[in-house]
Amino acid sequence: MINDIQKDADQRMDKTIESFRHDLAKVRTGRAHPSLLEHITVPYYGSDTPINQVASISVQEGRTLVLQIFDKGAIEDTEKAILKSDLGLTPNVAGQVIRITMPPLNEERRKELIKVVRGEAENAKVAVRNIRRDANNSAKELEKEKEISEDDLRRAEEQIQKLTDTKVARIDELLEEKEKELIEI
């Protein structure tokens, strides 16, 4: 029973970290990366389709994303979807190819982005702590119902705390990597 609680907490914490990693990928640095466009959907034949199913995305010269559109009819919709996104990017259309050049970040914008990233990290840590609280409450319920002993409860809480510390440390690592990436010119 305790193992199930810990396994569930571990899986939920991993999902939180994965979500945080996905959020970090959306924060734009000066370099081009195909994952920047992952969350964009294009209205394609009446349904919202992920951009990577409408075009192949590649990086050219480190600062330019090149989208090779599969269907000529989707070029205009893809361009509009990129313009509407919260990334602040301007696509340039040339035939069936859309080029997006990443503008360099100025110092003020870098500091703003670091604040945003730190806020995302704090939200992820809060989510991990909430999962810890839920797991501890589940273990306490087992102890109340006399399904486990008080010693088992203490051991379970210690293991859940160790798990939490590990996951929070991983969030800090990801944050540090992203901050270094943002500071880099």
Q: Where are the domains of the chain?
A: 2-26+106-183, 34-101
Nearest partner of 24 among 14, 41, 38, judged by Cα: 38
R_g over Cα of the chain: 22
Mean pLDDT per 10-residue section of the chain, whose length is 185 residues: 91 94 77 78 87 88 86 87 79 88 79 86 95 94 90 93 96 93 76
- What topology does CATH give the domain 2-26+106-183? Topoisomerase I; Chain A, domain 4 (1.10.132)
- Name the β-bridge partners of 64: 60, 101
Q: Give the class (CATH, top level) of 34-101.
A: alpha beta
| pLDDT score recorded for residue 185 | 57
Cα 97 to Cα 18: distance, rounded to the nearest angstrom? 31
Cα 101 to Cα 83: distance, rounded to the nearest angstrom? 13
Cα 120 to Cα 182: distance, rounded to the nearest angstrom? 15
pTM: 0.67
Amino acid 75 reads: I
| pLDDT score recorded for residue 130 | 96
